[in-house]
Structure 1
Amino acid sequence: MQKPLDRREIFKASAAAIAAAGLSQTLASNASATDTVAESGALPENATVLFQGDSITDAGRDRKRGKANESRSLGHGYPVMIAGALLKENAGKNLQVFNRGISGNKVPDLAARWEEDCIGLKPDVLSILIGVNDIWHKINGRYDGTVETYEVGLKALLEETMEKLPNVRIAICEPFVLRCGAVGDNWFPEFTERLEAARRVTSQLSLEQVAFQEMFDEAVKVAPPQYWAHDGVHPTLAGHALMAETWRKTLNI
């Protein structure tokens, strides 16, 4: 793996660039790559791309269908935006893009369905965004998992994945929140501790990190939090578009 990106350099002059160019110039990346996906960013023929996570990834998809490359199965969020661009730019390569995010999921929920919804699909590129429910459900009194529960569970899930799919390229998307809607002072500092746990696991396993929290931290300098995520958790159309752009630039595909 190449040296991880210095996020400070990515966002060094971001406020001015966002205002001038609609965020697009703030997210440049020299992302690392694996043998499965070439460093140039090219996807191989017959590659499978899988998005995993909770409601942010689910984005209202039709779970009864679950087909690749179908808008109803991909939802209305960042996965379908990424899928559309990848399919357009890789016509003729027989790419398969799946969304297996499920609303309300936490790390233990992913683990319970991982064999069928991840390992069995044999992805070449695996994107995981998980963590906000691990704290939200705790705040609501429906879950008692700790920061350690989250970190240990996430690491175990990833280690299992790397053992069973040794050539998979894994991108860990930062869990994120914006201070509006459902997100208040009672989310902190525990949310930050969970974010740091996700970053530690990503670093320890030498995986790629999609810096969504830092991305939104810069975005709110241009428009208020509600513009990007109406309840502080679920992105608006603009928020999803920004996520899709950042994801692609980070992975360079």
Structure 2
Amino acid sequence: MEMKHNARFVFVGDSITEEGRFDDPEGVGYGYVRFIRDYLLTEFPNKNIEVINRGVGGNRIIDLVARFQRDVIALKPDYVSIFIGINDVWRQLDEPELDQIYPEKFEEIYHQLIRMVQERTEANIILIEPTIYQEDMTSLGNELLKPYVNIVRDLARTYGVTLIPTNREFLKVISNEKHPTLTVDGVHMTSTGDMLIAKTWMNAFIQEFL
């Protein structure tokens, strides 16, 4: 499957996707979305590529579905990249009094998101695995995250859409005792973490669409 000549990419997610987009004159932000945008523009100068960042800090999947029509569907994308899940776990740890989004509810809402894209657009769907919670493979957050990652993997298989195996790649890196620092606080990315997301995304995208 070849990438379209006129290609509009919409990236939607939480703060890892947002990454300064509201302060960026271009609206792209300074994280993995910018790395991907810059790669696409330089690698395919003959194509008309537009990259739109619709990340919003603090979003859980329930927040995503509430704004999905406005922030994704209405933009008529050719490619929709969805990156969500870490806050659905994080809120269980730092705000246990909230109405929590446990795996069953997470999966139910994620089905809604995918069906909205399929029914209302002709876009290709790209699902990014939630990355990590703390740079420690044995942390409680990473244990809680496992079913959410598995749900994203299962959904990609069920719907036959592209999977970006970021959790696998992050765990591979942090399994090395001398690994680089990937996050500033266990969740939000350093530039190295953003590069790892972008590299993993581009490797899967190239394999699928180029």
Question: For the residues of structure 2 that align with 1:229 and 1:240, how far apart are their CA atoms?
Answer: 9
SS of 2:101's equivalent in the other structure is coil
Q: Name the stretch that deviates more: 116-125 or 189-198.
A: 189-198
Are residue 229 (structure 1) and residue 183 (structure 2) matched?
yes
Structure 1, unpaired ranges of 5+: 1-32, 64-69
Map 1:52-201 to 2 at 5 A: 52-62=12-22, 72-140=26-94, 141=96, 142-165=98-121, 167-180=122-135, 185-187=139-141, 189-201=143-155
Q: Deviations over 1:157-214 (max 9, x none)?
A: 111211111x311110000215348x97332532111111121122111111100011
2:21 is paired with a residue whose SS is coil
What whole-Å deviation, never above 9, does each CA across 1:203-243 have from its counterpart, x for those lacking one? Answer: 11111110001101111244656711132211211111121
Which protein is richer in strand relative to its size? 2
* Structure 1 Cα separation of the partners of residues 142 and 22 of structure 2: 34
TM-score by length of structure 2 reads: 0.89
Once residues 189 and 85 of structure 1 are traced to their aligned partners in structure 2, the CA distance between those partners, rounded to angstroms, is: 33
Q: Is the 8 A contact 1:57 1:129 kept in 2?
A: yes
Instruction: Name the counterpart of 2:192.
Output: 238
State the distance in 2 between where 1:190 and 1:107 align: 16
Q: Runs of 5+ in structure 2 lacking a partner?
A: none
Partner of 2:11: 51
Contact 1:174 1:199 in 2 (8 A): yes
Structure 1 residues 223 and 241, CA, compared in 2 at 3 Å: closer, same or farther?
farther
Sequence identity percentage: 30
Q: Which amino acid aligns with 1:59?
A: E
CA distance in 2, matches of 1:154, 1:86: 27
Provide the C-alpha distance between the structure 2 equivalents of 1:90 and 1:245, rounded to a whole number of angstroms: 16
> What does the per-residue CA deviation read over 1:36-73, in whole Å, with 9 as the maximum and x for residues that have no partner?
xx1xxxx322210111110111111117xxxxxx7641
Say which SS state the counterpart of residue 172 (structure 1) adopts.
Answer: strand
Could you tell me whether the CA contact under 8 Å between 2:180 and 2:192 is conserved in 1?
A: no
Give the whole-Å Cα distance in 2 for the aligned partners of 1:92 and 1:208: 24
Contact 1:225 1:232 in 2 (8 A): no
Which of 126, 151, 163 pairs up with 1:209? 163
TM-score, normalised with respect to structure 1: 0.74
| Structure 2 counterpart of 1:5 | none
**Number of residue pairs the alignment of both structures matches:** 205
